[in-house]
Chain A
Amino acid sequence: MSEAVSHDSHHDDHGPAKGITRWLFTTNHKDIGTLYLIFSLIMFFTGGAMALVIRAELFQPGLQFVDPHFFNQLTTMHALLMVFGAVMPAFVGLANWLIPMMIGAPDMALPRMNNWSFWILPFAFTMLMSTLFMQGGGPAGGWTLYPPLVLQTGDAFPFMVFAIHLMGISSIMGSINVIVTILNMRAPGMTLLKMPLFVWTWLITAYLLLAVMPVLAGAVTMLLTDKYFGTGFFLGAAGGDPVLFQHIFWFFGHPEVYIMILPAFGIVSQIIPTFARKPLFGYEAMVYATATIAFLSFIVWAHHMFTSGMPIAGQMFFMFATMLIAIPTAVKVFNWTATMWRGEMTFETPMLFAVAFVILFTIGGFSGLMLAIVPADYQYHDTYFVVAHFHYVLVPGAVFSIMAATYYWLPKWTGKMYNETLGKTHFWLSTIGVNVLFFPQHFLGLAGMPRRIPDYAIQFADFNMVSSIGAFIFGFSQLFFVWVIVDCVRNGKKATSQVWEGAEGLEWTLPSPAPYHSFETAPEIK
Chain B
Amino acid sequence: MFKGLWKPICATVAVLGLLAVNPALAAWQLDMPVGVTTLSGMIRDLHREILIICTITAVVLFGIMGYALFAFRKSRGAKAATFSHNTTAEIIWTVIPIFVLIYMAVPSARGILEIEDAGNPDMTIKVTGYQWKWGYEYLDNGVSFFANLDELSAEAARLDSGIDVMDIEHYLRDVDNRMVVPVGKKVRILLTANDVIHSWWVPKLYIKKDAIPGFINEMWFTATETGVFRGQCTELCGRGHGYMPIVVEVVSEEDYAVWVIENGGESPTLSTTEISTDSSVAAL
| B residues contacting the other copy or chain, number (CB 8 A) | 110
Q: How far is the CB of B247 from chain A (nearest CB, A)?
A: 12
Q: Which residues of A contact B26 (CB under 8 A)?
A: 458-459, 461-462
Q: Within 8 Å of chain B (Cβ to Cβ): is A333? A: yes
Quote the shortest CB–CB distance from A149 to chain B (angstroms): 4
Q: How far is the CA of A130 from the CA of B232 in the complex (A)?
A: 33
> A458–B196 contact, CB under 8 A?
no
Cβ of B208 under 8 Å from chain A: yes
B115 pairs with A455, CB closer than 8 A: no
Interface segment out of the listed A33-41, A45-53, A65-73, A213-221: A65-73
Give the shortest distance, in Å, between A480 (CB) and chain B (any CB). 11
Q: Quick one: which of A437-455 are within 8 Å of B by CB?
A: 443, 446-448, 450-455
Q: Which residues of B contact A320 (CB under 8 A)?
A: 105
Q: Is the CB of B213 within 8 A of A72?
A: no
**Does chain B have a CB within 8 A of A509?**
no
A158 at the interface (CB under 8 A from B): no
Closest chain-B Cβ to A389's Cβ sits at a distance in Å of 12
* Residue contact A63 to B161, C-beta cutoff 8 Å: yes
- B4 at the A/B interface (Cβ < 8 Å)? yes
B203 in the interface (beta carbon within 8 A): yes
B26, closest chain A residue (CB): A459
Interface residues of A in 277-314 (CB under 8 A from B): 277-283, 285, 307-309, 312
- Give Cα A302–Cα B240 distance, bound, in whole angstroms: 27
Give the chain B neighbours of A376 by CB distance below 8 A.
43, 46-47, 50, 108
**Other-chain residue from B12, B206, B207, B230 in contact with A432 (beta carbon distance below 8 A):** B12
Contact A366 B57 (CB under 8 A): yes
Which one of B82-90, B120-128, B135-143, B265-273 contacts A? B82-90
Q: Are A342 and B33 in contact (CB under 8 A)?
A: no
CA distance A436 to B16 in the complex (A): 10
**In whole angstroms, how far apart are the Cα atoms of A109 and B138 in the complex?**
67
- Contact assessment for A149 and B236 in the assembled complex, using a CB-CB cutoff below 8 Å: yes
Question: Is A129 an interface residue when CB atoms closer than 8 A count as contact?
Answer: no
Contact partner, B171, options A146, A429, A458, Cβ 8 Å: A458
Min CB–CB distance A148 → chain B (angstroms): 5
A62 at the A/B interface (Cβ < 8 Å)? yes
Give the docked Cα–Cα distance between A378 and B220 (Å).
13
Interface string of A137-158 (1 = CB under 8 A from B): 0001110001011001000000
Taking CB atoms, residues of chain A closer than 8 Å to B46 are: 373, 375-376
A80 within 8 A of partner (CB): no
For chain B residues 214-260, which have a beta carbon within 8 Å of chain A?
214-215, 217-218, 230-243
**Taking the nearest CB of chain B, how far is it from the CB of A17, in angstroms?**
42
- What is the bound-complex CA distance between A363 and B78, given in angstroms? 29
Q: By the criterion CB–CB under 8 Å, are A459 and B12 in contact? A: no
Q: Does A345 contact B (CB under 8 A)?
A: yes
Residue in contact with B5 in the complex, picked from A242, A428, A436, CB distance below 8 Å:
A428
What secondary structure prevails in chain B residues at the interface with A? mixed
Q: Does A20 contact B (CB under 8 A)?
A: no
Neighbouring B residues of A456 by C-beta, 8 Å: 172, 242
Minimal beta-carbon separation of A458 from chain B (angstroms): 5
Determine the residue in chain B with the shortest Cβ distance to A289: B94
Is A344 touching B79 in the complex (CB atoms < 8 A)? Answer: yes
Chain A: residues with Cβ within 8 Å of the partner, total of 103
* A342 and B80 within 8 A (CB): yes
Partner of B239, one of A68, A279, A379, A458: A68
Q: Which residues in A have their C-beta under 8 angstroms from that of B275?
A: none
Q: Does A495 contact B (CB under 8 A)?
A: no
Q: Is the CB of B50 within 8 A of A346?
A: no
Task: Give bound CA distance, A182 to B6, whole Å.
Answer: 46
A212 to B6, CA, bound (A): 46
| CB atoms of B239 and A285 under 8 A apart | no
Contact B4 A459 (CB under 8 A): no
B170 vs chain A, min Cβ distance (A): 7
**CB-based contact A327/B79 at 8 Å:** no
State whether the Cβ of B30 lies closer than 8 Å to any Cβ in chain A: yes
Inter-chain contact total with CB atoms closer than 8 Å: 309
A237 within 8 A of B: yes
Q: How far is the CB of A451 from chain B (nearest CB, A)?
A: 8
A236 pairs with B1, CB closer than 8 A: no
Shortest distance from the beta carbon of B231 to any chain A beta carbon, whole Å: 7
Q: Is A331 an interface residue (CB 8 A)?
A: yes
The segment from A5-13, A263-271, A354-362 that touches chain B is: A354-362
Decide: A345 and B19 in contact? CB cutoff 8 A: no
Residue B34 interfacial (CB < 8 Å): no
Once the chains bind, are B209 and A307 in contact (CB under 8 Å)?
yes
A152 touches B72 (CB 8 A): no
Interface check A483, CB cutoff 8 A: no
* CB atoms of A278 and B82 under 8 A apart: yes
- Bound complex: CA of A316 vs CA of B234, how far in Å? 23
Q: Which residues of A contact B238 (CB under 8 A)?
A: 69, 72, 140-141, 149, 152
User: A487 within 8 Å of B by Cβ?
Assistant: no
Tell me the nearest residue of chain A to B5, going by C-beta.
A428
Whether A343 contacts B81 by the Cβ 8 Å rule is yes
Q: Is A166 an interface residue (CB 8 A)?
A: no
Q: Is B65 an interface residue (CB 8 A)?
A: yes
User: Shortest distance in angstroms between B22's beta carbon and chain A's nearest beta carbon?
Assistant: 8
A466 touches B32 (CB 8 A): no
In the bound complex, how far is the Cα of B236 from the Cα of A320, in angstroms? 28
Q: Are B65 and A358 in contact (CB under 8 A)?
A: yes
Chain A residue contacts of B90, Cβ below 8 A: 282, 285, 331, 334
Task: Select B78's contact among A343, A358, A455, beta carbons within 8 Å.
Answer: A343
Contact assessment for B172 and A152 in the assembled complex, using a CB-CB cutoff below 8 Å? no
Q: Which residues of A contact B85 (CB under 8 A)?
A: 281-282
Asked whether, in the complex, the Cβ of B157 is within 8 Å of the Cβ of A236, the reply is: no
A425 contacts the other chain (Cβ, under 8 Å)?
yes
Known: A374-B108, A443-B30. A345 touches B78 (CB 8 A): yes
Interface-centre pick from B27, B170, B196, B215 (highest chain A CB count, 10 A): B196
- In the complex, the answer to whether B78 meets A378 with C-beta atoms within 8 Å is no
Given contacts A68-B239, A376-B47, A450-B233, contact A61 B165 (CB under 8 A): yes
Selecting from B96-104, B175-183, B276-284, the interface stretch reads B96-104
B1-25 vs A, Cβ < 8 Å mask (1 yes, 0 no): 1001100110010011001001001
**Chain A residue nearest in CB terms to B16:** A466
Please state if A429 and B50 are interface contacts (CB–CB under 8 Å): no
Q: With A237-B214, A473-B8 in contact, is A375–B197 under 8 Å at CB? A: no
Rounded to whole angstroms, the CA-CA distance of A457 and B166 in the bound complex is 9
Name B214's contact: one of A236, A279, A282 (CB within 8 Å). Answer: A236
Q: Is A418 close to B, CB under 8 A?
A: no
11 contacts between A and B (CB under 8 A): A64-B159, A72-B236, A141-B238, A308-B210, A319-B109, A331-B90, A340-B65, A376-B46, A428-B8, A450-B232, A473-B8
8 closest A-B pairs by CB: A236-B214, A453-B242, A375-B111, A344-B80, A448-B203, A366-B54, A309-B217, A342-B81
Give 14 new A-B contacts, CB below 8 A, not counting A340-B68, A379-B32, A455-B242. A63-B159, A72-B236, A276-B72, A283-B84, A326-B101, A331-B94, A334-B93, A343-B68, A345-B73, A375-B42, A379-B203, A421-B4, A446-B29, A461-B26
